[in-house]
Amino acid sequence: MTPFPDDLSHWVWQHRYRWQPPGGGAPEADLEATWRRVAAAVARAEPKDRGRWEERFGELLAGFRFLPGGRIVANAGTGRAATLLNCFVMGRIPDTLPGICRSLEESALTLQQGGGIGLDFSTLRPSGAAASASGTIASGPVSFMHVWNSMCATLLATGSRRGAMMATLRCDHPDVLEFIAAKADPDALHFFNLSVSVSDEFLRAVRDDGEWPLLFPLMPGEQADSSRCPVRRWPGFAEPVPCRVQRTLRAREIWERLLTMNHDSAEPGVQFVDTVNAGNNLYWREYLTATNPCGEVPLPPHGACNLGSINLARFVRGPFTARARLDLDAVGEVARVAVRFLDDVLEVTGFPLAAQAQEVRACRRIGLGITGLGDALAMLGLRYDTSDARGVAGEAMQRICLCAYEASSALAAEKGAFPVFDADRYLEAALVSTLPAEIRCAIRDGGIRNSHLTAVAPAGTISLLAGNVSSGIEPMFAFDGQRRVLDAAGLPVCFEVTNDAVRRWRTAHAGQPLPAAFVTATDIDPLAQLQMQAVIQPWVDGAIAKTITVPGDFPRGRYADLFDTAHRLGLKGCTTYRPGTVRGQVLSVGRARTEVPAVHVERCCSLG
């Protein structure tokens, strides 16, 4: 019997993850061979009992119960010069032409090895500023984003995997309005997602209808005037620095322009930078200003995300019956093994840059999350937008989080804590301080192997591999549709697809209508989607990739309420999707062919 639930699942395995040695060697015979390759490659990190862990990892992967990040499945054990880590945040972009060119080269090398990248362009001086060394005028961050975009497009010509990049800019950078409007042109910056880094101070100025200074650190040789040069914490500087105010605008003018662009094109999203840093387990060591391309992992310069998702749909017992339940004990056991698996990935992966290897192994971040939530809830007979559904989701993420911290503390006793671990400071971190006493005691006594343990990725392609389960924490987008993917030549291939839970219901209940628990994203009030994020976020030390899907006729006037609610609920950012606004669509739904955005191509997920 084939392990593939549909033709697209088989195609994704064959064209994305099936290994065929170069020079005409025999390709992997079946999916089980792929899982054996991955399990054996990752288990090589084990200094003892390697055969036992290879077997355990194989069991972990079987049946689509645990879905590692796509780079792990594609590259582990192949010998390719390719990283196993999906995404990176690049180092600080120096505000000099040689420095910018070095950063561009490092970005190209990282993209070439399969890693998506995030960049904070706030370090580049605004357009119109004098470049004293050359006597020229600076063109500003957005102009250099186009250079990065062209580089990414050039690399795309070498393969079918799309390059993915995230650009971030501070809300007080003088070019913030240009950044907000950067993707108003539908042909611009196809390979970038955009996020404005928004501070609590800015949001207070919006509420108070206050003035907002746009500023930039003083150039070398400029003298600070305390009355005109406020001090700000700025990326690339260890301490706050004096900044020159370029001009002042009403905060609401900036905010309203951002909301209008988000309504019209789903770009840019928002990163609540103070919330991000307040929730950072390494708050004493890092100030985070950038994320990976889909926003679920805020990272320091040269940091990387090492991701995997537990497929909740595979842990529903007695689906579609009155006795249906989510097997949390089994979920917890998978979480424990998955922590070891992801930690071992850090030992066997290569890195495009030496600085990335140094940073990643100093902290040993991993991001264990979930996928298939929408399907699991339907199989349990729960509408996504109900309090009962939120209760199940929150309990599942809590179990994963607690089991992950337990497993990582046990790993530290066996293999050592992450190198920059500081027990006193770590135990004061926001999430860590809420852990049960026995876990905190274990961390104090023996350390913890990984600085961060949880993040919820979009899990787009791997969820297709698992039979088109709902991705990440998203609700089902559609019951049936047509999905477009790219072949090795970069040409589109279309498949008729059905959501996995829908297919399972129809197989077991031929001819019967779908129960009321089956709902799609456009059936769910946007505020209810934010509430789902909010019950999961307390158990996520990274962030959550989630798109707030709104109806096509959703009024522009309600956007402020969406973003304000996201901030008030403690989410780490917010992005929306309104049908008809996003480029790069890959899924058509029903006869009307309503289009769905392409994950990793255009902005379709956010921090949360």
What residues are annotated to the active site? 292, 294, 296
Cβ-contact 193, 165 below 8 angstroms: yes
- Other beta carbons within 10 Å of 365: 29
- Which single residue is written with the structure tokens 């609540």? 272
Is 423 exposed, middle or buried, given 0-12, 13-18 or 19+ CB atoms closer than 10 A? middle
Distances (CA, A) of 277 to 252, 271, 530: 24, 11, 20
β-bridge mates for residue 271, sequence order: 197, 573
Q: Which residues pair with 486 in a beta bridge?
A: 492
- β-strand partners of 130: 137
User: Two tokens at 193?
Assistant: 């997602």
Reading the block at residue 208, the tokens are: 């108070």
With a CB cutoff of 8 Å and minimum separation 6, the contacts of 30 are 3
Strands (DSSP E) found in 199-240:
211-217, 231-232
* DSSP letters for 328-354: HHHHHHHHHHHHHHHHHHHHH---SSH
Exposed/middle/buried for 257, CB within 10 Å: 0-12, 13-18, 19+? Answer: middle
What b/e sequence results for 330-356 when a residue is b if at least 16 CB atoms lie within 10 Å of its CB, and e otherwise? ebbebbbbbbbbbbbbbeebebbbeeb
**Per DSSP, what are the bridge partners of residue 498?**
480
The DSSP 8-state label assigned to residue 522 in this structure reads G
DSSP string, 398-412: HHHHHHHHHHHHHHH
Q: Which residues pair with 307 in a beta bridge?
A: 367
* Per-residue tokens: 293: 């391309």
